[in-house]
A and B are shown apart, each in its own frame.
Chain A
Amino acid sequence: MGFIHLDSVSLSFPVYGAGKRILKKELVRIATGGVLKRQDDKLITVTALKNITLTVPNGMRLALIGHNGSGKTTLLRLLSGIYEPTSGHVAIKGHITSLLDIMISMDEESTGYECIKIRGLLQGLTLKQIKEKTQEIIDFTELGDYLYMPLLKI
């Protein structure tokens, strides 16, 4: 029986690329012994999740609704194990398969068959297991021989 349990989970993360802590500033900070530090210390931190407590028992379907930037993706990434919480406790029993990006690791030059193989391996399957499932996947896509073509052309 699988379950997901979150206990007062919070997650805040730094946002880089806003021109803040780049290496030069880090070196300046070390060299100047923190005199300049006060100006540069305002690293932008986003508190995306705050004190979330949630229990999803086995068999439950849960929809996540929220406005843009409310932290839906962040919560899903946390549940997928991509982000680790800043505080709180996460317990998940079972196998998590995230489908945050359906095109993950599919290069447009790859053929459909290669995509099946790559995705299968990323999912933790062995080549043998993938081979067993391939026919089923081919039938599902209804693409037939087009799967031999690069993704770009399908």
Chain B
Amino acid sequence: MEETLILEQDQESSSKKRGRLAVSDLKEGLRSWRIWLMLGWQDILLRYRRSLLGPFWITLSMAIMIYSMGLIYGLLFKMDLSHYFPHIASGMLVWTFLSTLIMDQVNSFVEASHIITQMKLPFSVYVLRVLARNFIIFFHNLLAICPLLIYFKTPVHFFYCLFGLIMIALCGFFYGTVLAMLGARFRDIKPIMQSFLQLVFYVTPIMWMPEMLPPRFLFIVRANPFQQIIQLFRAPLMGSFPSTYAFFASILITLTGFLLMVFLMIKSRHRIPFWV
């Protein structure tokens, strides 16, 4: 296995080289799918080792949460359960996915510090590992709401669901890299994100429905980037289509994430080993 590895750092050419190294990091990272899939899967295996249900604890705890919440809040808000139940269930499903993903990603370089400082792997591997891990958990969680979809005979639009997941994966990769770098450099980011996500949970229509809002407050829903991404997957899961607005907003959000990632990777990728 002969390969040439030439690292150069000359004053005049360093910015161009940094760009090239950043791009090759991203490319090599994607190419190392064996590593990040395995690491992500191993994380889950270790978490549930020696437990009876193993990873299906994820499914079970999600099921307990959504079915109890759906019933309790449905009765509390005096909602029509056939409408409200799938709404809160799908909302909690996607929200749990996004919020754990974001919190894990802030930590992805920090938790991998033992590998980062001992061996050379593309940095994107660690971001993709966290993404893979959260996707595996998400698919376990998805099982929990299947009985509900079957019971209420929801006409799921699988193709649109898939599109939504792809957008979440892209955003997860782009913003994940940004968050991982910020989280490694500034350790305050983690508690900040925790509080921020708490706030987002309340202003995003997950437990409540947009129709409950007086029309003059509807801008809260429209201006919320999380809602647009969530809708991409949630709407087709509930048998409707994401709005054109949500569609274009998500594309804009994803592109912004991409540019942020490229900018930060070029600017500070080489400093990551010093941060962790």
A residues contacting B by CB (< 8 A) are 2, 13-14, 16, 22-24, 26, 77, 80-96, 98, 100-101, 104-105, 107, 109-110, 114, 117-118, 121-122, 124, 126-127
The residue in chain B whose Cβ has the minimal distance to the Cβ of A87 is B9
- Given known contacts A98-B118, A100-B118, what 18 new A-B pairs fall within 8 Å (CB)? A81-B5, A81-B7, A82-B120, A85-B7, A87-B11, A89-B9, A93-B2, A94-B4, A96-B5, A100-B119, A101-B119, A104-B115, A105-B39, A109-B46, A110-B42, A122-B115, A122-B121, A124-B1
Query: Which A residues touch B271, using CB under 8 A?
Result: 14
B266 at the interface (CB under 8 A from A): no
Q: For the complex formed, measure the closest distance between the CB of A92 and the CB atoms of chain B, giving whole angstroms.
A: 5
B117 at the interface (CB under 8 A from A): yes
Q: A98-B119, A104-B119, A105-B114 are in contact. Are A89 and B38 (CB under 8 A)?
A: no
Q: A85-B9, A96-B5 are in contact. Are A117 and B118 (CB under 8 A)?
A: no
Contact A77 B117 (CB under 8 A): yes
Query: Which B residues touch A77, using CB under 8 A?
Result: 117, 273
Contact A82 B273 (CB under 8 A): yes
The residue in chain A whose Cβ has the minimal distance to the Cβ of B125 is A122
Q: For the complex formed, measure the closest distance between the CB of A107 and the CB atoms of chain B, giving whole angstroms.
A: 6
B153 at the interface (CB under 8 A from A): no
Q: A22-B186, A90-B7 are in contact. Are A95 and B38 (CB under 8 A)?
A: no
Contact A81 B120 (CB under 8 A): yes
Contact A84 B114 (CB under 8 A): no
Q: For the complex formed, measure the closest distance between the CB of B173 and the CB atoms of chain A, giving whole angstroms.
A: 20
Q: For the complex formed, measure the closest distance between the CB of B133 and the CB atoms of chain A, giving whole angstroms.
A: 14
Q: For the complex formed, measure the closest distance between the CB of A4 and the CB atoms of chain B, giving whole angstroms.
A: 10
Name the interface size band of chain B.
35 or more
Query: Which A residues touch B39, using CB under 8 A?
Result: 105, 118
Q: For the complex formed, measure the closest distance between the CB of B161 and the CB atoms of chain A, giving whole angstroms.
A: 30
Query: Which A residues touch B52, using CB under 8 A?
Result: none
Query: Which B residues touch A110, using CB under 8 A?
Result: 42, 46
Query: Which A residues touch B121, using CB under 8 A?
Result: 122
Contact A90 B6 (CB under 8 A): yes
Query: Which B residues touch A95, using CB under 8 A?
Result: 1-3
Contact B114 A104 (CB under 8 A): yes
Q: For the complex formed, measure the closest distance between the CB of B136 and the CB atoms of chain A, giving whole angstroms.
A: 17
6 contacts between A and B (CB under 8 A): A93-B2, A94-B3, A100-B118, A100-B119, A122-B35, A122-B119
Contact A118 B42 (CB under 8 A): yes
C-alpha spacing A84/B275, complex, angstroms:
14
Q: For the complex formed, measure the closest distance between the CB of B116 and the CB atoms of chain A, giving whole angstroms.
A: 7
Q: For the complex formed, measure the closest distance between the CB of B104 and the CB atoms of chain A, giving whole angstroms.
A: 17
Query: Which B residues touch A80, using CB under 8 A?
Result: 119-120
B8 at the interface (CB under 8 A from A): yes
